[in-house]
């Protein structure tokens, strides 16, 4: 069984009661960069959604910029020169195969989701990896000290930084609320009509009215969301018209096919 | 409200928001609308990561995943898929146990699990991934996660749009907007577009308080 050193460290730390998150593993990328990537991903995905673009491509574009802002500029800026990482078609087919065939064993693993079992789990992980008790203790002490220094999660309030004008959240809440009111009114109207028009025909008609009202309300809601999103000073609505993904990023995009739209090369719609 | 899409002003300073060690500053429930991404929870991430590591090193899972990654012609896609496979399994496991883990927590935890998979694959012979490739892999996994979340209805369009706007309002989101505005406009030729570059004078993002500044902690 392949064993990663980082996991061993994590097991040791857990055995000593330290935090996995701050002592466990070799993370894929740094936390600062992760934060930038996540912010960019959220912005990119949302923009792609409302502009009818490819969500994954939107995420990649947002993450690319987010990574630069997050401190990864030195190696991300060279992305454009690193073209030709892999064959797209093979990658896409392979992705499906992996998802379909791997993981049957995962279901056999019993996970624990209570904090009380954490040290035990950590010890199990360490034991699975054949580490010695003395080495575990020494490493745990070292890691626990490191964890003590860097163990505080993010702090600042997210919504506190939103502009004072009516936020998207408030607007969306209003839409949802109005939509429910519309639906309630439509249902009430349809039911009233069914009581007036007695018989099966009347009931069928009222049912049709309900469905039609529901469809209309949903369409109106979608349109309103789209309008709001487009009217916001969205970052990617500008950005996506200004740059294209480097070719090595395009290579990892599943089933990428050039098409027109805000999220495409040139960005003209 | 706390969450993934945020950062502290000064790394290393005493925390001002709820933490595992300082729960007394927890704001009153319902004081603010609930964030789509949700709060970062250290304890949940610990559980998420340790369960994921345990899963990754389960003999069968490990053998399957690592073999797939190593044989893959595109390790970026293979590692992203493998990570999502583990994350999905963990989410289902947590849900069946009545445990709700925030998207913020899952994202940070997934970074560690992905690092674990990469390290395992490299130990088993995969060509070493550089930082840029790891970042591409993480980005692709995020994209696939959100795409799938919308397709399966796990997340609504409204929630994703809201999350994007929440992100845009964060300090780092504003920096990104500034970065975007500094990018060169498309070339004069119709259809031409600018390759992404690094704007001058852009400071690196601040590491969220308490989060490790490097991958290896």
CB contact under 8 A, A31 and B213: yes
* pLDDT classification of A243: cutoffs 50, 70, 90: low
CB contact under 8 A, B56 and A163: no
CB contact under 8 A, A59 and B146: yes
CB contact at 8 A, A33 and A67: yes
Per-residue pLDDT of chain B (217 residues; tens, 9 = 90+): 333 333 322 233 223 223 223 333 333 444 455 677 887 888 888 899 999 998 888 888 888 888 889 888 899 999 999 999 999 999 999 999 998 899 888 998 999 999 999 999 999 999 999 988 999 999 999 999 999 999 999 999 889 988 988 888 888 888 877 776 665 444 333 433 444 443 333 333 333 333 333 333 2
Does A261 contact chain B (CB < 8 Å)?
Answer: no
Q: Looking at this predicted complex, what is its ipTM?
A: 0.73
**Max CA distance (Å), chain B:** 59
Measured distance CA(B193)–CA(A62) in Å, rounded:
16
B144-175 tens-digit pLDDT: 999 999 999 999 988 998 898 888 888 888 88
Residue of higher predicted confidence among A80 and B121 = B121
Give the distance, in angstroms, between the CA of residue A20 and the centroid of all CA atoms in the same chain: 22
CB contact under 8 A, A106 and B89: yes
Q: Among residues 95-154 of chain B, which lie with CB inside 8 Å of chain A?
A: 97, 99, 104, 107-109, 111-116, 118-121, 123-124, 130-140, 142-144, 146-147, 150
Q: Average pLDDT for residues A193-213, to the nearest whole number?
A: 65
Cβ neighbours for A40, distance < 8 A, ≥ 6 positions apart: A59, A61, A62, A63, A64, A65, A66, A67, A69, B167, B176
Separation in Å, CA of B134 to nearest CA in chain A: 6
Residue of higher predicted confidence among A158 and A230 = A230
Measured distance CA(B173)–CA(A39) in Å, rounded:
6
Angle at alpha carbon of residue A55, lines to B201 and B194, rounded to 5°: 40
Residue of higher predicted confidence among B176 and A190 = B176
The DSSP call for residue A153 is P
A98-109 tens-digit pLDDT: 444 444 344 445
Does A119 contact chain B (CB < 8 Å)?
Answer: no
Q: For position A201, what pLDDT does the model report?
A: 61
Measured distance CA(A195)–CA(A203) in Å, rounded:
8
Mutate to test the interface with B, among A9, A11, A25 (most CBs of B within 10 A): A25
In three-state secondary structure terms, B108 is helix
Phi, psi of A258 (to 5 degrees): -55, 135
Cβ neighbours for A211, distance < 8 A, ≥ 6 positions apart: none
CB contact under 8 A, B131 and A69: no
- Give the C-alpha distances (Å, rounded to integers) separating B171 from A42, A46, A158, B166, B202: 14, 18, 9, 11, 13
Mutate to test the interface with B, among A27, A71, A237 (most CBs of B within 10 A): A27
Q: Is the pTM of this model over 0.95?
A: no
CB contact at 8 A, B216 and A264: no
In three-state secondary structure terms, A42 is helix
Mutate to test the interface with A, among B26, B34, B112, B174 (most CBs of A within 10 A): B112
* pLDDT classification of A200: cutoffs 50, 70, 90: low
Q: Among residues 176-195 of chain B, which lie with CB inside 8 Å of chain A?
A: 176-177, 179-181, 183-186, 190-195
In three-state secondary structure terms, B40 is coil
Residue of higher predicted confidence among A65 and B94 = B94
Measured distance CA(A156)–CA(B13) in Å, rounded:
12
């Amino acid at each position: 069984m392949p064993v990663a050193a980082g996991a061993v460290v994590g097991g040791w730390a857990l055995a000593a009661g330290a935090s996995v998150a701050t002592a466990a593993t070799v993370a894929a990328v740094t936390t600062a960069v992760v934060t930038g990537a996540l912010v960019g991903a959220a912005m990119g995905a949302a923009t792609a959604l409302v502009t009818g673009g490819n969500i994954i491509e939107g995420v990649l574009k947002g993450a690319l910029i987010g990574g630069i802002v997050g401190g990864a500029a030195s190696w991300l800026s060279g992305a454009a020169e690193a073209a030709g990482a892999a064959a797209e078609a093979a990658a896409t087919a392979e992705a499906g195969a992996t998802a379909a065939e791997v993981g049957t064993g995962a279901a056999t693993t019993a996970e624990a989701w209570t904090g009380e079992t954490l040290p035990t789990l950590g010890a199990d992980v360490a034991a699975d990896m054949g580490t010695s008790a003395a080495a575990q203790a020494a490493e745990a002490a070292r890691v626990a000290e490191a964890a003590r220094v860097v163990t505080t999660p993010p702090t600042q309030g997210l919504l506190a930084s939103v502009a004072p004008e009516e936020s998207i959240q408030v607007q969306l809440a209003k839409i949802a609320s109005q939509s429910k009111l519309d639906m309630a009114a439509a249902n009430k109207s349809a039911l009233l009509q069914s009581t007036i028009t007695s018989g099966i025909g009347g009931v069928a008609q009222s049912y049709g009215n309900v469905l039609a009202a529901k469809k209309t309300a949903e369409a109106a809601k979608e349109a309103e969301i789209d309008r709001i999103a487009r009217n916001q000073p969205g970052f990617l609505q500008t950005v996506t018209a200004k740059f294209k993904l480097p070719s090595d990023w395009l290579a990892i995009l599943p089933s990428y096919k050039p098409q027109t739209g805000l999220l495409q090369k040139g960005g003209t719609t | 409200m706390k969450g993934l899409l945020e950062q502290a002003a000064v790394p290393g300073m005493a925390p001002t928001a709820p933490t595992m060690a300082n729960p007394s500053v927890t704001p009153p429930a319902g004081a603010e609308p609930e964030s789509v991404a949700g709060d970062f929870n250290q304890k949940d991430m610990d559980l998420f990561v340790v369960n994921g590591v345990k899963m990754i090193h389960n003999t069968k899972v490990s053998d399957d995943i690592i073999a797939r990654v190593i044989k893959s012609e595109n390790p970026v896609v293979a590692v992203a898929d493998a990570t999502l496979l583990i994350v999905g399994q963990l989410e289902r496991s947590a849900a069946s146990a009545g445990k709700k883990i925030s998207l913020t927590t899952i994202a940070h935890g997934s970074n560690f699990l992905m690092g674990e998979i990469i390290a395992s694959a490299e130990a088993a012979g995969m060509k070493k991934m550089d930082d840029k490739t790891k970042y591409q892999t993480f980005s692709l996994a995020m994209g696939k996660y959100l795409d799938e979340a919308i397709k399966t209805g796990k997340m609504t369009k409204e929630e994703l749009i809201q999350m994007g706007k929440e992100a845009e309002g964060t300090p780092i989101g504003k920096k990104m907007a500034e970065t975007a505005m500094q990018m060169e406009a498309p070339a004069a030729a119709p259809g031409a577009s600018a390759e992404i570059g690094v704007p001058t004078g852009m400071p690196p993002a601040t590491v969220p308080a308490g989060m490790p500044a490097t991958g290896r902690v």
